[in-house]
Amino acid sequence: MTLRAILAGTGSALPRTRVSNAELAERVDTSDEWIVERTGIRFRHIAEPDETTATLGAEAARQALAAAGLQPSDIGLIIVATATPDNTFPASATKVQALIGAPDCIAFDVAAVCSGFLYAVSVADSMLRTGAAKHALVIGSETFSRILDWEDRTTCVLFGDGAGAVVLSAEEVADDRGILATRLHAEGKYCDMLYVDGGPSTTGTVGHVRMQGREVFRHAVTNLADVLGEVMEDVGLSATDIDWVVPHQANKRIIDATAKKLGLPAERVVLTVDQHANTSAASVPLALDLAVRDGRIRRGDLVVLEAMGGGFTWGAAVLRV
C-alpha cells in the first residue's frame, strides 16, 4: 500500500457577467477577429463588485466538497492559489475558510500567478503525504479584471475571472491512483516580462498587468513541453499513455503548439480558453472541473496538468483519477 493524495472532488465558479469579444471591442480598440485569431478567446467572465476572489473560491470549494461527499469540518488544509487576493492580508484562504464555515485548520495562499494551482497542488500533495491533514481543499481563484489596464489592448482582452477547486484526500492505495508526480520551476530573471507595476512594498498601489506577450509565448511553449516531458519520465510513461491533458488556458496557439511538440492529439486536450479566457491560477482547476462534470475525465484516467506564468514560474502534475 502507498499513501497518496487522491482526487476526491472538483468544483468551479464563474462570475455572473459574461463579456464577448464584440462587447469588448465597443470600449477597446480591438476586434473579435483579432482576438479569436491570435488567442482563440471568444468570451470571458468579469466579476461584479460583490464577486471577489474569496467568494468565487468559496463557491468552487462548496461544489468540490459536495462532489467529494465531505463537510467543511472534514477539511484540515486550505490553499488558495491567487495573484488577486481580496486584501493584501489576511490570506484569501482564511476568508474562504470563514465563508464555507470550516473550523480551525491550516489555511494559506500561494502566489505563483498562472502556475499557482500547480504549486498549490504540489504543496498539498507533500503535506497530505506527511500527515499534516487528511483532506485538503486546493483552490485557484482570480479576479484579474481588477488589475487590468482597460486602456491597454495588448493585455485587457486576454484575461477573465473565475475559480476552480479540488478536494485532495490522503489515502492508502494498492493501485496507481492519485497524484503520481509533480514538477515545479521558476526563473526570476524573467520577472519583468509578465508582472504587475504596483504592490504594497513598492508603489503602495495595486498596479496593473504588464506583459511582453511575444516573449512569454516563446518561453511558454518550450517550458511547458519540457516540464511535461519531465513528469512523464518521472512516472515512466509516455505521451500515448495520457488520457487527458488539462493545460493552463492562456492562448489556444500555445496549447496547440505544446501538444504538437509532445505528439498529443487535440482530442485529448481540454480546452476552455474560448469560453473563459486566461483566468490565471483558476484556469486549470476550472477546466478540470468542466471535463469531470461533462464525463470526459473518468475514474482510472491518466490526467496531466500544466501551467506557466509570471516569474517565470511553471509546473506540471500527473495523476490517476
Distance CA 121, CA 246 (A): 14
End-to-end CA distance of the chain: 17
Among 194, 270, 277, 304, binds ligand UT7 (CB under 6 A): 194
- Closest-approach residue to ligand UT7 (CB): 213
Given the residues 21, 223, 251, 278, select the one marked as catalytic. Answer: 278
Kindly identify the residues of this chain, within the stretch 275-304, that bind ligand UT7 according to CB under 6 A: 278
For residue 316, the cross-strand partners are 183, 306
264 vs 273, beta carbon nearer ligand UT7: 273
Among 180, 220, 227, 288, binds ligand UT7 (CB under 6 A): 220
Binding to ligand UT7 by CB under 6 A, coded x per residue (else -) over 30-59, reads: x---x---xx--------------------
Give the number of residues in contact with ligand UT7, rule: CB under 6 A: 21
Q: How far is the CB of 39 from ligand UT7 (least distance, A)?
A: 5
Q: Which stretch binds ligand UT7 (CB under 6 A): 138-146, 169-177, 210-218, 237-245?
A: 210-218
Can 105 be counted among the known catalytic residues?
Answer: no
Using the contact rule CB under 6 A, the part of the chain among 78-86, 128-136, 208-216, 289-297 near ligand UT7 is 208-216
Cβ contact 270:288 at 8 Å: yes
Radius of gyration, alpha carbons of the chain: 18
Site for ligand UT7 in 81-140 (CB under 6 A): 114
Among 71, 154, 202, 238, binds ligand UT7 (CB under 6 A): 154
Nine cell digits for residue 111:
502566489
Nearer of residues 308 and 321 to ligand UT7, judged by Cβ: 308
Closest distance of CB 114 from ligand UT7, Å: 4
Q: Please list, in sequence order, all residues whose beta carbon lies within 8 angstroms of the beta carbon of residue 164, skipping any fewer than 6 positions away.
A: 10, 11, 12, 13, 60, 117, 139, 140, 141, 282, 283, 284, 285, 286, 287, 288, 289
Whether 263 and 242 have beta carbons less than 8 Å apart is answered as no
Residues 241-260 that bind ligand UT7 (CB under 6 A): 250-251, 254
User: Cβ–Cβ contacts within 10 Å for residue 88, how many?
Assistant: 10
- Decide: 27 and 188 in contact? Cβ < 8 Å: no
295 CB-near residues (< 8 Å, 6+ apart): none
Using the minimum distance from each CB to ligand UT7, give the nearer residue, 194 or 302.
194
Nearest to 8 by CA among 72, 84, 59, 64: 64
Q: Are 284 and 195 in contact (CB under 8 A)?
A: no
| Residues with catalytic function | 114, 248, 278
Residues that bind ligand UT7 (CB under 6 A): 30, 34, 38-39, 114, 153-154, 157-158, 194, 213-214, 216-217, 220, 250-251, 254, 278, 308-309
